[in-house]
A and B are shown apart, each in its own frame.
Chain A
Amino acid sequence: NAGVMQNPRHLVRRRGQEARLRCSPMKGHSHVYWYRQLPEEGLKFMVYLQKENIIDESGMPKERFSAEFPKEGPSILRIQQVVRGDSAAYFCASSPSGRNYGYTFGSGTRLTVV
C-alpha cells in the first residue's frame, strides 16, 4: 500500500499564477482532508471531502481557493492568482469511513510563491 501520495513535492509559482496540488488517498479510503502549515506555525484545517462532495470547507479562504475530489482520480486543491502569503506546506490526509480510525498524511507539497 503506497500510502497517501501528494504531488508535486515542491512547487514554485510566480505571483498571479495558478497552483494545483494533487492528493491520492490510500486505497480504500474515501475521506480526504487538506491542511495548510505556514512557516513556523501549526497545521490549519482547510477542507474535508468525500467522493464528489465537499463536506466541510470551514477552513478554506473565501476567495481563490477551491478543492475537489472527483469520482475518478485524485483530490485537487487549486489556488488561483497566488500571492506570497500562500507560500506554505500543504498536507493531505485520508481516512476510511467511520470515526474510529486515524488519519494517514501525505508528505506534503511545499508551495513557494516568488
Chain B
Amino acid sequence: DAKTTQPNSMESNEEEPVHLPCNHSTISGTDYIHWYRQLPSQGPEYVIHGLTSNVNNRMASLAIAEDRKSSTLILHRATLRDAAVYYCILRDGGGAQKLVFGQGTRLTINP
C-alpha cells in the first residue's frame, strides 16, 4: 500500500480555515486520495476523495498538487465539532480495495 505522511497534530481556532497537509510522493497513477476523520468514541467518517482534480463537497475541499505527490484538506470554517483525527489514505484504483489507515493528524480546535 502506498504510504502517506501527515503531521501528528495541528491546532486551529474556531471559525478559521484549516489546511491539513498530506504527502504521498510514491502515489501511482491509479491511486485515489481519500480523507476520513474519526471523532472521539465514534467510527470513522468519510470526508472527501479525488484523483487528479480539486474536489469540493459540503464538508470540505480537497486540493491536489499538479504532480499528485501531495494534497491538502481544507476545512473552510472550523467548528468545535471538527476536532478529530484526520486520515489521508491512498486507495488503489487498480488493485486491492482495502483502506490502510495510518496515524493521521489530530486536529484540535480552540474556542
A contact residues vs B (CB 8 Å cutoff): 31, 33, 35, 42-45, 48, 55-56, 91, 93, 95, 99-100, 102-108
Contact = CB atoms under 8 A, between A and B. Distances in A.
B32 A100 contact: yes
Contacts of A108: 42-43
Interface of B is mostly: loop
Interface string B45-76: 11001010000000000000000000000000
A34 to B, nearest CB: 10
A100 B99 contact: no
Contacts of A56: 96-98
Nearest to A97: B97
A103 B93 contact: no
B102 interface: yes
Contacts of A100: 32, 49, 51, 93
A24 B63 CA distance: 34
Given A105-B44, A105-B46, 17 more contacts: A33-B98, A42-B104, A43-B38, A43-B44, A45-B99, A45-B100, A45-B101, A48-B97, A56-B97, A91-B43, A99-B92, A100-B49, A100-B51, A103-B46, A106-B43, A107-B43, A108-B42
